């Protein structure tokens, strides 16, 4: 079963995306800030998670999406996970221009069917 990690500090957004992804038979890993997500990805063996794609908000407490994504790019095995950036701020795209692990940008509010389509494409790009 394909796994999607959803990282957003808005619980309603995480819940909505979880419902959308579970309808597609994806397993959903929830995190409410970048630090929580990073800790899940770098945990000791039996606690470690490895998603097939990540849906990532930018503006979050603890660790923002940009810092989270930058850390993943530096780590062996994690830099190839495709990331779909979810943001209310369209101008943030410039920050990520040179990042090889960014698959797409989706602005909030998003069209649910479009987000599902983009996440599926991100997973397919990895194979």
pLDDT tens digit string along 61-113? 999 999 999 999 998 889 999 999 988 766 566 666 667 788 998 988 999 99
pLDDT digits (tens, 9 = 90+) for 38-65: 999 999 878 889 999 999 999 999 999 9
What is the pLDDT, as a whole number, of residue 45?
77
Pick the residue with more confidence: 122 or 99?
122
pLDDT of residue 95: 63
> What sign has the CA pseudo-torsion 14, 17, 22, 28?
negative
Angle between helices 112-126 and 11-23 (to 10 degrees): 70
- How confident is the model over 4-13, as a mean pLDDT? 97
Domain ranges of the chain: 3-126
Model pLDDT, residue 101 = 86
- Rounded Cα gap, residues 75 and 124, in angstroms: 21
Taken in order 122, 19, 22, 39, the sign of the CA dihedral is positive
Q: What is the pLDDT of residue 20?
A: 97
Give the other-Cβ count within 10 Å of 89's Cβ: 12
Contacts of 113 (CB under 8 A, 6+ apart): none
Fold of 3-126: Rossmann fold (3.40.50)
């Amino acid at each position: 079963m394909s796994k999607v990690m959803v990282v957003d500090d808005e619980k309603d957004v995480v819940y909505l995306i979880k419902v959308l992804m579970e309808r597609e038979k994806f397993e959903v890993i929830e995190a409410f800030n970048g630090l929580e997500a990073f800790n899940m990805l770098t945990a000791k063996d039996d606690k470690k998670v490895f998603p097939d794609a990540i849906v990532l908000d930018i503006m979050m407490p603890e660790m923002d999406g940009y810092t989270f994504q930058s850390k993943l790019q530096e780590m062996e095995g994690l830099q190839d996970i495709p990331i779909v950036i979810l943001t209310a701020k369209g101008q943030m795209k410039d920050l990520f221009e040179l990042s090889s692990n960014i698959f797409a940008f989706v602005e909030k509010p998003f069209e649910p069917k479009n987000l599902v389509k983009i996440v599926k494409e991100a997973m397919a790009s990895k194979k």
